A = this chain, B = another copy of it.
Amino acid sequence: MAVSAKEVLSGDIQAAARLMRDLDDEIPSAHRTLKTLYRHTGRASILGITGAPGAGKSTLVDCLTEHLRREGKSVGIVAIDPTSPFSGGAILGDRIRMQKHTLDDGVFIKSLATRGHLGGLSKSTIDIVNVMDAMGKDVVIIETVGVGQDEVEIVKVAHTNLVLVVPGMGDDIQALKAGILEIADIFVVNKSDREGADRTKLELETMVGMNTYREGEWEPPVMATVAQTGAGVPELLSEVEKHWTFISREENLLRYRRERARVELLEILKKKLIDKAVDDLSRNKVLDHLLRDIANKTRDPYSIAEQVVNHRFDFPLGAEPGKGKGIRRGRA
């Protein structure tokens, strides 16, 4: 049975979970519901948490969630877990959290472990964040390893991005500047009871200090936490709240909303474009023939891609696609 927008807007967890599953299964009615829900998004505060495997993301998310719950805020968590030899942590971490928060209606956790898809991870994340936002979650947390293009792009839908660093990892902080400064609103040296924590904190502060910030620009603070014990977490949350106040200023909010719109539109578009192209090419086994030609080096993938994009396409294979739709026969 199709999930209605009304059910989700009322905060019905079962309905929201069903909608997410239907979206995964690409059920058309789910997409229609999502369109309706979109109008009701934009109320949640979105928090991105990025860190290498082993940086303690799950534990920190857990800790932050507990604090937010105590303040009476409802929380949605999206854990991005791209298939990889190195991303097992999120899955295990999730199970543990599930047990902990399973009886708490105020917490909604969704793990995304997409693989073999074409850019589907970003779109799925956007969908889930929007459902959680529309269902009235006060805070939505996106947790990601942040390595990989899609993952770096996706955290741009967050209001505030925390970048987790662990002591000792900082050996080559010099080399990391470009990427790290682009996404971090707040740096967090987690596991700060470990040796080298002070040095890592200092290096990050130096890095931030070397950047020139204009009047009215946000300068990322460097915070120290031990997520395992909860040390430093209240101070971190107070910095997060400062950033939320900062971003709520009219000029900042407009810029943020526009950037979120840009990431949303382009990521959704990217996925839909390639899906449509594969659909079109799969008709009458055109794709099969093309792959054979590429493998035999009688055609090159660059020229074929250009032809597809420009809707000029010859079918030397005698295969003619469905009339009027999709890739048309070229006239060039």
Contacts and interface: CB of A to CB of B under 8 A. Distances in A.
Contact of A277 (B38, B182, B273, B308): B273
A211 interface: no
A317 interface: no
A269 B274 contact: yes
A264 to B, nearest CB: 4
Interface stretch (A71-79, A111-119, A228-236, A240-248): A111-119
Contact of A291 (B88, B175, B265): B265
Given A121-B149, A265-B305, A305-B268, A85 B165 contact: yes
The size class of the interface chain A forms with chain B is: 35 or more
A62 interface: no
A178 interface: yes
Chain A interface secondary structure, helix, strand, loop or mixed?
A: helix
Given A258-B295, A265-B294, A309 B276 contact: yes
A179 B84 contact: yes
22 contacts: A31-B302, A35-B303, A38-B301, A38-B302, A39-B297, A51-B86, A52-B86, A83-B179, A86-B145, A86-B147, A87-B176, A88-B175, A115-B182, A117-B149, A118-B266, A147-B147, A254-B295, A258-B291, A265-B294, A266-B274, A270-B273, A270-B274
